[in-house]
Amino acid sequence: MTTVIETCRIPPPQGVAAELFLPLSFFDITWLQLNPIRGLVFYNHPCSEAEFSNTIVPNLKQSLSLTLKHYLPVAGNLLYPLDTDTDTTKPVIRYISGDTVPLTIAVSSLGLDDLVADHARESDQFYGLLPLAPPLTEEENYQIVPLVALQVTLFPGGGICIGLNVNHTLCDARSIVGFLNAWAVINKSGDDEVFVSRNSESPPVFVRPVSEDSRRLNGIFWDVMKKIPFKPVQSHPVPTNRVRASFILRQSDIKILKTRISSAKPRRVRISTFAVASAYVWTALAKCGGGRDEEEVFYYPEDGRGRRNALFDPPVPANYFGNCLGAGVVRLERRKLAAEDGFVSAAEAIDDEMNTKIYDGDEFLKNPENRLPIVLSKFKDMRMLLASGSPKFEFTVADFGWGVARKVEFLSTDDRTYAMSLGNSGDGLVVGMSMPKEMMEAFASIFEDGLRVGGKVYGKSRM
């Protein structure tokens, strides 16, 4: 059980800009109708309720305010036009003086060790650690949508959890990691001098990327999305009727899987670890059954910052705060995925998609309007596995003074029928999954059996 002990609103410090307006790019417009990013970051930090209330919480409030000085859009709101029929009104992100970030302070009696374990756990219990989105309001011709809500929860004598509920229209996961790291650095150091010195040459950039073709795309995406009734998610998806579990692919496992591919396809010189891990999960899911159609889909986002692409020259900078995601889509017949050599086929298909659509700068971000069918759920009659997260930018490295995080849970995976999160485990990769209990049991068995060589499972249990 989790008990809320305080709710407050944190403003940026005095002296910041009085206002900031950011028009939405097509990257942002993509997410208008989709669910928020929901994440929980767990830390080991045994402390009493007195220390938490008297020292930790005041420090977090002060450091959050200082962090907002450098991340004003986080305190802002999405302004969505009530009348979308006119060409002159479009959604915009706005910060004005007086805007704040809601912060919830709570104490939980749940067992921290169980929550951060890898075995299957009931998904519903995690939502007490996640703040609800603030209520919507209206102002003149716009609906006002708060973009970020935060929660800090104490597990007395055990640790602390940071909960983030972020409207995806504001930014993607890489941007959230940048914000969280900034908050952590400022909290740990006691002021923003260390953060400023580390980022003096690359502070967060908020101005949306623009090119001749991107202006056209902004119009295309808005014309499509404005026809869908705007219904921002205000509640948590409980009951989920799901369990959550984490599966470890160690470096030794990944090496074995890559060897299987090279043995079956000796002409394939190199294959990415992402392709191998994703293919392994995808084929294990296909072998669980439950699908109805002949084809299955694997969809994965790819960060566009600092990467040569077909839209922006120079590329979007690495310190850009917002959404900047390309995507890969792979489709395979279920019978091929579930076959004995399905893993090899899936890995090849994913790797080929990455080589032709991601790594090729002339193709990456080319014709992004082609992904609108995904947004509009045109594949809803097919089983689709959606990948989220990336080992390239980790939530766990944010150190508030309590050390690196012990575990991260992406509750966003509960919103999709099939979704996986991917992160670093120290000795390989950790795959987070959310699904109904019976299916999770089948998936876990297939995942484990697939790593057997000669009847032996290498290493300890992967879940």
Q: Tell me which residues are annotated as active site.
A: 168, 399
DSSP secondary structure code for residue 347 in this structure: H
Q: Is the peptide bond preceding residue 239 cis, with omega within 30 degrees of 0?
A: yes
Coil, helix or strand for 114? Answer: helix
Coil, helix or strand for 343? Answer: helix
Contact call for residues 35 and 412 (beta carbons, < 8 A) = yes
Contact call for residues 455 and 448 (beta carbons, < 8 A) = no
Return the H-helix or E-strand segment holding 248.
Answer: strand 243-250
| φ and ψ at residue 43, rounded to 5 degrees | -125, 140
What are the structure tokens assigned to 100, written together?
């704040």
Distance CA 353, CA 359 (A): 9
Distance CA 432, CA 413 (A): 8
Q: In sequence order, which ranges of 136-250 are alpha helices (DSSP H)?
A: 173-189, 193-198, 212-225
Beta bridge partners of 263: none
Coil, helix or strand for 64? Answer: helix
Coil, helix or strand for 370? Answer: helix
- Residue 408 CA to its chain's centroid (Å): 11
Strand 407-410: give its sheet, edge to edge.
2-10, 101-108, 148-155, 159-166, 37-44, 407-410
Beta bridge partners of 166: 37, 148
